[in-house]
Amino acid sequence: MEQDKTESVAVLFSNFIRGFTNNEGKFKYLDAIISMPINLEKSIVVSFEDMLIFDSKLCEFLEKNPSEAIKQFEEAALMILTEHDVEYAKKIKKVRVRISGYPQSVTIRDLNSSFIGKIVKIEGVVVRQSQVKTQLVEGTFRCLSCGTLISVEQNSQSLTLPKTCPACNANNPSNFELDPSKSVFDDFQMISIQEKPESLPAGQIPQTIDLNLTGDLTNKVRPGDRVKITGIVGIRYAKSVFGKPKSKVFELSLEVNNIEIETEESSDLILSEEQIEKFKKDVKDPLFYRKLVSSVAPSIHGLDHIKEAILLQLVGGVPKQFKDGIRVRGDINILLVGDPGTGKSQLLKYAQRIAPRGLYTSGRGATAAGLTAAAVRDESGTFMLEAGALVLADKGLAAIDEFEKMREEDRVAIHEALEQQTCSIAKGGIVATLNARTAVLAAANPQLGRYDPNRSFYDNISLSSTILSRFDLYFILRDVPNPSTDEELVTHILAQHRYNEVIKEEIFDINYLRKFIAHAKTIEPKLSKDAEATIKTYFLSLRSASSSTSLQITPRQLESLIRLSEARAKLMLRSEVLKEDAEVAIRLYKISMEQVGIDMETGQIDVDAITGKPRSTREKMSTIMSICDQLENEFGSAPVEEVLKRCEEKGIDKNDARRLINQLLRDGIFYSPDDKSLKRVR
C-alpha cells in the first residue's frame, strides 16, 4: 500500500512538471529540465506555491514525509531528464529538486526536537563560511589480491570500506584501495547561520546553527548575506559530551534543501499597497517633514538639526557605479562629539532600533576582527571566514559608541569600510573582500572630558585626520548652562517621568517611522537642473572665497552635499532632487562646519581645521621650516633660541612657535641632535 502511495506521488510530481504553465503559457519546469544539459545544471528550483496551485496533495505529502517526498520528486525529475537527454542523465545520476517559498518559518532559537523529521524554513545571517572541500558519495574500491572493483555507498560520517571481497573473500581493511577515477564525489562546505540582529530578544546571546552545504549550493553565499534556508531537521552526535565520543545527547542538524538570498534592504518589512498609498498621501502635508524630524527620538529634548541629519542618514543617498568600475557610496556617515550626559548614546540606540538593519557596538568592546572580518580555525584546523559587525550591518546602519576609546590599530581597520564600503581580509590562505555597505553613526567624548571651545575640533578629540575625513557631517553637543533652555529641558524630563510618555503632538510612532524609512530607501531620485545649479553655485562660491582665505570646501564635501540632497528627496518620496532638497543639505553642512570647521586663530571656516592643520597653522609651520633651513645653511644646524627669536620677528608668538616646533619634531620633519638645535630630516 505504501509502495503504491509513493509511486503515485512520483506520478503526481511528473504530471506537475509536464503540465504546469506560467502566466505566459510556457511550461516552466519542463523547460527548466530540458535546458539543464545546456546550462550544465544539476538541480531545479520548484516553488511551493506552484505545487499548491497545481495539486495540494504534493504539498501535503511533502509536509508529512519530506525525505520520502523529495526522493520521489528527484526520481521523477531524473526520469523526465532521461527522456530528453540520456547521456547527461547518466552523467549526473541525480536531479536535485529544491523547494523555494516554503511558508512555515521557524527561528533558530525556536528550533527544537518537535521539528525532527519535518521540513522547515529558517532565516538568519551567514556569519561563518569554510573553504569548499570534496566528499565521497559512492566509493569504488579495488581488491589488491584479485583486482575486483567493489562499490560502496557512503552514508556515515566516516569512510565505509567493503566488508569482504565477493571474488576472493578477502576481509582485511588494508586489502582495499580507493579508485578515485571510478568513485563519485560531491562538493562540500560548512557555514554558520546566526539570528538576525534586529529580531534578537533583549539581553540574549544570538543563537547559531552550523549547516553543511553540498553540490551546487556551495559558494552560493558569503558572510554577511541574509538568507532563507529550507531543509529537513535531523540529528547528529554532539561534538563532545563529558569527553565521550558518543552518548545519548544529540544536537539538531538541518539537511539543507535550498538557499534563498535576501536582496531587498528591508525584506523583513513587507508593506501593503494601502500602506504605500498612505505614505504618498501623508507626504502632501506641508508640515510632514517637520513631523518626521520631531518623531526621531522624541524623548530627547532639542537637537533638531542632529535628529534631521540622522533621519537623512537612515535613508541615505543613491550609490553609483561608474563605467570604469569606480563605486561612489550613497551612505552618509555622521560623527557626534560632545560632553557627557548630552544624549549621544540615546541617539545612537534609537537610530539603531529604527534602521531596517541596525547594529550597535561600543568602542571599548570592539576589535578590528569583530568590526570587519576574521579568519578563524574550525575543529579540523582549517580556516573559516567570519563576518564582523560592519559586514552584518550591510545595507543598514552601524552605531559605534565611545569611538575614541577604540585602540588605534582597531580603528584603522574600518578606514576601508567607511569609504570603499568593503572589508578585505588576507589570512590563513583566505584572501577575500566582503561587502560593508553600511552607514556609520559614531559618537565620541572630548579628550579632556568636556569640549573646550577655545581649542580646535581636532585638538578636542584624539582621532586621526584620516578617519575624520571620512565623515560627511560632524556635530558638537555642548552642555552649557542657559536659563531659558534649562527650564524647557527640566520641564520636558519631569513631564516624561510623570506621564511615562512623550507629551508632544503630531509625531509618528516608531512602527510608522520604520516602515516609512524602509519604503523611502527603495526610491532612487536623480538630480534636477535646479538642484544641480544650487549645489554648483554654493560650491563655486566657497571655492572662490578659499583662494584668498582658508579652504572651505573640497570635492569630498561636494559628494556629501549630493548624498544629503538625495536623502531629502527620498524622504519626500520624490524621483527627482529639487532645489529645496539641495538647500536643506547646504543648511546642514553650514551648521556642521560652523561648529567644527573653524580655524581658532582666524575665526574663519576651514575644512582642514577638522583634520588637524588649518591654513594659519600650515603657514606658520612653513615659516618655521624656512627659518630652520636658512639657519642650517649658515651654521650647520638651527639653534632653537635663534629660531624662536626670528619667529617673533615674523609675528609668531614664542609659545605658539614652541608648540609648532614640538609638533614638527613629533611628525618626524625635524630632529634634535642635542636638545638645543634642530636639523631637517633629509
**pLDDT (tens digit, 9 = 90+) per residue, 39-82?**
888 888 888 888 888 888 888 888 888 888 888 888 888 888 88
421 and 483, same domain (yes or no):
yes
135 is a domain residue: yes
243 and 303, same domain (yes or no):
no
113 is a domain residue: no
Element (H, E) at 190: strand 184-194
Residue 4 has pLDDT above 50, yes or no: no
471 is a domain residue: yes
396 and 508, same domain (yes or no):
yes
Domain end, chosen from 545, 561, 596, is at 596
Domain end, chosen from 566, 596, 626, is at 596
- Rounded CA separation 70/72 (Å): 5
| Contact call for residues 643 and 678 (beta carbons, < 8 A) | yes
564 is a domain residue: yes
456 and 410, same domain (yes or no):
yes
- Rounded CA separation 596/617 (Å): 16
| Contact call for residues 132 and 218 (beta carbons, < 8 A) | yes
Percent of the chain at pLDDT above 70? 85
State the number of CA atoms in the 13 A half-sphere of 185 facing the CB. Answer: 11
* CATH code, domain carrying 404: 3.40.50.300
307 and 170, same domain (yes or no):
no
| Weakest-pLDDT range from 5-14, 91-100, 124-133 | 5-14
Tell me the residue type at 453: P
The owner of cell 559512492 is 138
255 and 280, same domain (yes or no):
no
pLDDT of residue 551: 53
146 and 287, same domain (yes or no):
no
**Which cell goes with 400?**
559605534
* CATH code, domain carrying 628: 1.10.10.10
486 is a domain residue: yes
**Which cell goes with 384?**
573559516
| Contact call for residues 436 and 372 (beta carbons, < 8 A) | yes
183 and 248, same domain (yes or no):
yes
544 and 630, same domain (yes or no):
no
134 is a domain residue: yes
CA distances from 194 to 132, 199, 397, 450 (A): 20, 11, 18, 40
Domain count, the chain: 4
For 327, residues 6+ apart whose C-beta sits below 8 A from its C-beta are: 319, 320, 321, 420, 421
Beta strands in 416-574 (DSSP E): 422-427, 430-435, 439-444, 473-477, 526-527
278 and 257, same domain (yes or no):
no
48 and 196, same domain (yes or no):
no
183 is a domain residue: yes
pLDDT of residue 242: 47
Largest CA distance in the chain: 109
Domain end, chosen from 261, 294, 318, is at 261
* CATH code, domain carrying 196: 2.40.50.140
Residue 263 has pLDDT above 70, yes or no: no
For residue 148, the enclosing domain spans 129-261
**Which cell goes with 286?**
506641508
493 and 555, same domain (yes or no):
yes
**pLDDT (tens digit, 9 = 90+) per residue, 376-399?**
776 666 677 777 788 878 788 888
609 is a domain residue: no
Give the closest residue to 577 by CA, choosing from 569, 585, 567: 569
Residue 249 has pLDDT above 80, yes or no: no
